[in-house]
Amino acid sequence: MSNDMTTGVIYTETVVHAAPAEFVADAPYQLAIVSLDSGGRLTARITGERVKIGDKVELVEERAGVSFFRGVEP
């Protein structure tokens, strides 16, 4: 356990095909709940390759209050 809020593990995920009006242009997009290494969980978007439960991820950027994570090569 570290205090780093920029890394974590995928707790669960989905790929959204039917998006709400605001995000229709983004679909399909992957959404996940990340268990942060610093403790607690965060609902975030995934960029790049699709990830699955148990995969390690790292923060890429924050945009409009949303955290974007990507998978970390093992």
Partner 1 sequence: MGIGKTAFGAFPDRTLRSLAVEAGEKCMQDAGVSPSQIEAFYLGNFAGPAFVGQNHLAPYIAGSLGLTGVPCTRFEAACASGGSAFFHAVSSVAAGLNDIVLVAGVEKMTSQSTPKVTEILAGAGDMAGEGRAGATFPALFAMIARRHMYQYGTTREHLAAVAVKNHANGAKNPLAHMRKVITMEQALAGKMISEPLTVFDCSLISDGAAAVVIVPLERASEFTDQPVRILGIAQTSDYVALDAKADITTFWAVREAAEKAYKMAHVSARDIEFAEVHDCFTIAEIVATEDLGFIKKGEGGPYVFEGRTRLRAERPVNASGGLKAKGHPVGATGVGQICDVALQIRGEAGELQLDRHSIGLAQNLGGSGATAVITVLGSI
Task: For residue 1, state whether it binds partner 1 (rule: CB under 8 A).
Answer: no
Task: For residue 9, state whether it binds partner 1 (rule: CB under 8 A).
Answer: no
Task: For residue 12, state whether it binds partner 1 (rule: CB under 8 A).
Answer: yes
Distance CA 49, CA 40 (A): 24
- Binders of partner 1 among residues 32 to 61 (CB under 8 A) are 32-33, 41-45, 53
Task: For residue 24, state whether it binds partner 1 (rule: CB under 8 A).
Answer: yes
- If you write DSSP's letter for every residue of 6-63 in order, what string do you get? TEEEEEEEEEESS--GGGGGG-SEEEEEEEETTSSEEEEEE-SS---TT-EEEEEEEE
Using CB under 8 A, list all residues that contact partner 1: 11-24, 26, 29, 31-33, 41-45, 53, 64-67
